Amino acid sequence: MWEIKGIVLTAPLKGEIDNVIKFIDEYLAPRGFNTVIMQVRYRYEFKKHPEVTGYDPLSYGDVKSLLSVCRKNNIKLIPKMNLMGHQSGIHNEPTDGILHGHNKPMADEPDGLLRAYPQFDEQNGVEEVYYSRSICLSNQEARDTVCELLDELMDVFEADSVHIGCDEGFSLGVCEKCAAKQRGELFASWINGINRHVRKRGGSVLMWGDRLLSSETTGYDRWEASDNGSYTAIDLIDKDITICDWHYNFYETYPSVDVFGEAGFKILICPWRDKSSLEAFLNYAKAHDKGHIKGILMTTWCGSGYLARRLLYGEKGKWLHTEQIASTVEEIFG
Ligand SMILES: [Zn+2]
């Protein structure tokens, strides 16, 4: 019923690229998926800024192979970076290329950008951070650098849109420069700066919606909505940005579907592994669609190689949530 049927896949590890290509060709395409958002972060062999290149990066040729199987199946391949939070984390066990956040202050590993440019860190010099590090949104050099990274990624992916993340930025507005600004304005200025850069090259932006929602008025928790004032940015950011409205918990209602519609945004409905929460969210969205819902975007957050091997060959995934993610994909999408 909706135009977009999408899935988020993490950039495959080197040894998994063929499995993921086969998964796109033989599993996703026959089930009608028409969009793959590839979570790249810094895992690409950047030419202009090789210093930010992350763990086990995709090569230029790897991207072209992934693009080729997507094109063959009329699937749009959209690259994704995290351009606020999630700039550090802890590797999954066993390592699948994903750095995950953590719910208590602890030392962790900076991802590519902050490893190369620690001065872009909103909490530069702080040894233990809550959840993950964020980019300082007042730093013009940081914005220029991420725009150059986006340009290179959109070029190699031959993409007309890009997902810029921007979820779960718990430390937004804490450095001296950022703390002096109103948080919604600070956040909106960062987002609009990137959006207008992408727009100028004829592209469009997708982002996660959680920082644009008030946890107090919506009832969502502090992951799925903001408790630090950033939500006032909803009235300030460009309305041509597609909002990826993600919710993983079960709620009686999902008021963000209405909030984003009333604010004038087009949205994607983004569930995760728990099937009953997914169904509750989807049912609410279907009943509250005012023509502003473009589609569904299934999130995964396990190594795409595990997911591919589990769904193609029935192999057991190694990360703790892989089995539930895979079985929900099977049950919902056949
Ligand atoms: Zn700052």
Q: How far is the CA of 258 from the centre of ligand 1 (A)?
A: 31
Contact 9, 20 (CB under 8 A): yes
Q: What is the mean pLDDT of the chain?
A: 96
How would you label 47-81 residue by residue, b for 16+ Cβ within 10 Å and e otherwise? eebeebbbbebbeeebbeebbebbeebebbbbbbb
pLDDT at residue number 12: 97
CATH architecture designation of domain 4-82+140-333: Alpha-Beta Barrel (3.20)
pLDDT band at 119 (very low <50, low <70, confident <90, very high): very high
Using alpha carbons only, how large is the chain's radius of gyration in Å? 19
Verdict on whether the full-model pTM lies above 0.85: yes
pLDDT at 149 over 90: yes
Q: How far is the CA of 218 from the centre of ligand 1 (A)?
A: 27
Q: How far is the CA of 21 from the centre of ligand 1 (A)?
A: 40
Q: How far is the CA of 174 from the centre of ligand 1 (A)?
A: 6
Other beta carbons within 10 angstroms of residue 278's beta carbon come to 23
pLDDT band at 11 (very low <50, low <70, confident <90, very high): very high
Q: How far is the CA of 113 from the centre of ligand 1 (A)?
A: 15
pLDDT at residue number 1: 84
pLDDT at 225 over 90: yes
User: Model confidence over 203-218: pLDDT tens digits?
Assistant: 999 999 999 999 999 9
Instruction: Kindly state the average pLDDT of the residues 154-171.
Output: 97
- Give the contacts of 5 (CB within 8 A, at least 6 positions apart): 32, 33, 34, 35, 295, 296
pLDDT band at 83 (very low <50, low <70, confident <90, very high): very high
Q: How far is the CA of 114 from the centre of ligand 1 (A)?
A: 13
pLDDT at residue number 109: 95
Instruction: Kindly state the average pLDDT of the residues 76-80.
Output: 98
